[in-house]
Amino acid sequence: MGTVLVVDGANVVGARPDGWWKDRAGAATRLHLQLMVADVPQDRVVLVLEGAAKGGVRPGKDAHVRTVHAKGNGDDTIVAEAKAASETGDRVFVVTADRILMGRVERYGALIMSPTWLLGHLE
């Protein structure tokens, strides 16, 4: 048992108007690198990427960060990750500003953290 932070990569990257739309893969790479050194209170981090962002980071585990490539809808993958973590007894935190997604993961006991909260830990 522990704590898991599931990150909606698209939502977090989209919260910063830094030109990410010109290079989604590059934005995903930057987010991944920041998560690798971030001082977050959770034990493990799961970064969910979808679409073109998947080209920036290979799936798999790097230290405490595991990157997951969504096969289809990123939200469905985030829900699956939150559910799986809660079923193992982990305390789950999901970073997103997507209200529909919030409702879907809260049924598994996930606490919602805002992209702004995470960005504050990345700087």
Question: Each residue's pLDDT tens digit in the chain (123 positions)?
Answer: 899 999 999 999 988 888 887 899 999 999 999 999 999 999 999 999 999 999 999 999 998 999 999 998 899 999 999 999 999 999 999 999 999 999 999 999 999 999 999 999 997
d(CA 86, CA 84): 6
What's the number of domains the chain is made of?
1
d(CA 76, CA 90): 19
CATH number of the domain that 82 lies in? Answer: 3.40.50.1010
Per the DSSP assignment, residues forming a β-bridge with 46 are 6, 66
Per-residue pLDDT at 52? 94
Cβ atoms of 50 and 13 closer than 8 Å:
no
Query: What is the domain extent for residue 47?
Result: 3-122
Cβ atoms of 82 and 105 closer than 8 Å:
yes
d(CA 60, CA 55): 13
